Structure 1
Amino acid sequence: MTVKAKKHLGQHFLNDESIAEKIANSLSFEGYKNVLEIGPGMGVLTKYLLDKPTKTYVVEIDSESVEYLKANYLNLADRVIEKDFLKYDINEVFKGESFAVIGNYPYNISTQIVFKTLEMRDQIPEFSGMFQKEVAQRICEKEGSKAYGILSVLTQAFYDAEYLFTVPPHVFNPPPKVDSGVLRLTRKEDYSLDCDEAMLFKVVKAAFQQRRKTLRNSLKTFNLSDSLREDSIFGQRPEQLSVAQFIALTKRIEIDLKTQE
């Protein structure tokens, strides 16, 4: 039995063993007991994870893939979770314990997977896997680049992001139309924010939604005091600010709004 890739699920099955092994080795497997693979398909990556010292769980929405995994990986059968990762409370399985996340992520939901990881960062010290190359680069990009944006800032506020390697289309069935890229996120030792998290998300999103404008224009809706808006940082465009500068700016905005109350 083989599983047919389903377009509506964004499935592209990796069929290169050496790349699968390389992705599996991108995690350190240290500091946590559990690993969660998202979208395992027919288990090309899973089999390498099962050799690791951690306990592997897989979450898969496609019932045909679930059937295949249970039939072919008997030692994994009771750790196959037939759910939509984005809608499922994974703590029904992990009960608050730490776990790493890995996978060849379906392109159509890959950024949502990253945002869910950020929400659960207290439990996820490490994250790696394959994205559309452009998305992987965007997550890892530093300030000063056109690719640097909302995803880069919000991910790097909590994780160190590293672009590992590029994967060509021909190693997939069916081949995607674009290159893929593998990245690794390692949670920072101190990932607490020196500002309000919800406010940081608001500031970053507002800034990049009008990325060609200076912050003085894109952050107008915050109704900041004239004295703050005169600061030279407001003459910059969002891609010029580092993650640390966005956090510091957010804190100043919070103080400014409080003093206006």
Structure 2
Amino acid sequence: MKAVKPKKNLGQHFLTDLGIAKAIADTVDACPDIPILEVGPGMGVLTQYLVTKNRDVRVVEIDAESVAYLHENFPKLDDNIIGEDFLRMDLTNLFDGKQFVLTGNYPYDISSQIFFKMLENKNLIPCCTGMIQREVAQRIASAPGSKAFGILSVLIQAWYDVEYLFTVDENVFNPPPKVKSAVIRMTRNQVTDLGCDEVLFKRLVKTVFNQRRKMLRVSLRQMFPVTKPSEGFYEQDIMTQRPEQLSIQQFVTLTNSVNEELKKINS
């Protein structure tokens, strides 16, 4: 079967450098002995190295032409080639409820959505590796105080330790993307309970970063659209800071503070 033609509407940029492909595949070795799910394998440039790791490997690919190519060139995978949309998949029974490593050369335009799905299934995914747009990788790995620190940084770092592994140039892809890429690894930390309402935590983080240039005493007003919080709430020292200045623990503390105010209002 002839090579698959990259489809712009699917954000396909096929990696052509086998050395880099092997290096990306080897990032899963940090979480040994558990199955591997590869997202968006395309023509299997990573797959060819993943299947040598003596582990259960499954691949999910939305492009029918790529699925046909994989069936022809990776006959041993056969039933483990899933022609579906990863974002719509139920991951809970994928490996009979067992934990697995998530990896891939992720489409740039949905990488954030992939990581939000990872967070929804964090107890199933102790390790996630792969290649994404460099700017997004820098954002995920950035520390508080950095201009890149944002929603993805906080939500992912609350549950995962992030490693920015290496940068990949544009010229090793077909077609070359207009931006550089980067390979990262996210490994579950020891946190099992944030110590706050997780739904409210996520809502608060998104709320304040949507107005990231404003002080918290301004952006947090959206959390109280009807009734104002108690007197002195906006006078706390933290309220003069902007969201990128806060640590994960400070976001947890702030979430608990907002939660207490909401309970008072609704009581």
C-alpha distance in structure 1 between counterparts of 2:198 and 2:254, whole Å: 12
Over residues 147-186 of structure 1, what are the superposed CA-to-partner deviations in whole Å (9 max), with x where a residue is unaligned? 1101100011110111111000000000001100110000
Deviation of 1:32 after TM superposition, in Å, equals: 5.1
The whole-number CA distance in structure 1 between the counterparts of 2:222 and 2:136 is 29
Measure how far apart 1:29 and its partner are. 5.4
Instruction: Please give the residue correspondences for 1:79-98 in structure 2 after superposition, counting only pairs within 5 Å.
Output: 79-98=80-99
2:71 corresponds to 1:74: no
Please give the residue correspondences for 1:189-228 in structure 2 after superposition, counting only pairs within 5 Å: 189-223=190-224, 224-228=229-233
Q: Deviations over 1:88-128 (max 9, x none)?
A: 21334323211110000001111000000000001000001
SS at match of 1:226: coil
> 4+ residue runs of structure 1 moved beyond 3 angstroms?
29-32
Q: Gaps spanning 5+ residues in structure 1: where?
A: none
Alpha-carbon distance in 1 for matches of 2:119, 2:94: 19
The residue correspondences of 1:154-193 to structure 2 (distance < 5 A) are: 154-193=155-194
Query: Residue in 2 aligned with 1:115?
Result: 116
CA deviations 1:35-87 (Å, max 9, x no partner) are 10000000010011111132110000011111111111111111000000001
Contact 1:148-1:239 at 8 Å conserved across structures: yes
Indicate conservation of the 8 Å contact 1:34/1:54, yes or no.
yes
User: Which runs of 5 or more residues in structure 2 are unaligned?
Assistant: none
Query: Identity, % of aligned pairs?
Result: 52
Compared with structure 1, are the counterparts of its residues 124 and 32 closer, same or farther at alpha carbon in structure 2 (3 Å cutoff)?
farther
SS at 1:165 equivalent? strand
What RMSD over aligned residues (CA atoms) do the two structures have, in Å? Answer: 1.2
Scaled by the length of structure 1, the TM-score of the pair is 0.97
2:249 is the alignment partner of 1:244: yes
TM-superposed deviation, 1:212: 0.7
Give me the whole-angstrom Cα distance separating, in 1, the residues matched to 2:60 and 2:217. 44
Asked whether the 8 Å contact 1:34–1:100 carries over to 2, the reply is: yes
1:128 aligned onto 2:133: no
Contact 1:163 1:184 (C-alpha < 8 Å) held by counterparts: yes
The number of residue pairs the alignment matches comes to 261
Aligned-residue offset at 1:133: 0.5
Task: Select between 168-177 and 94-103 the one with higher mean Cα deviation.
Answer: 94-103
Counterpart of 1:239 in 2: which secondary structure? helix
- Structure 1 Cα separation of the partners of residues 65 and 93 of structure 2: 23
Displacement of 1:25 in angstroms is: 1.1
Write the distance in 1 (CA, Å) between the matches of 2:75 and 2:123: 31
Contact map agreement 1:32 1:100 (CA 8 A) in 2: no
Q: Give TM-score, length-normalised by structure 2.
A: 0.94
Q: Are the counterparts in 1 of residues 92 and 124 from structure 2 also a CA contact under 8 Å?
A: no
Residue 43 of structure 2: aligned partner: 42
What are the Cα deviations for residues 192-234 of structure 1, in whole angstroms up to 9, with x where unaligned? 2110111001111111111111000000122332222211001
User: Quick one: distance in 2 between partners of 1:83 and 1:225?
Assistant: 50
Contact 1:29–1:52 (8 Å) recurs in 2: no
The answer to whether the 8 A contact 1:157-1:191 is kept is no
Pairing 1:231–2:231 present = no
**Code of the aligned partner of 2:248:** V
Offset, 1:249: 1.1
Q: Which amino acid aligns with 2:182?
A: G
What SS is found at the alignment partner of 2:28?
coil
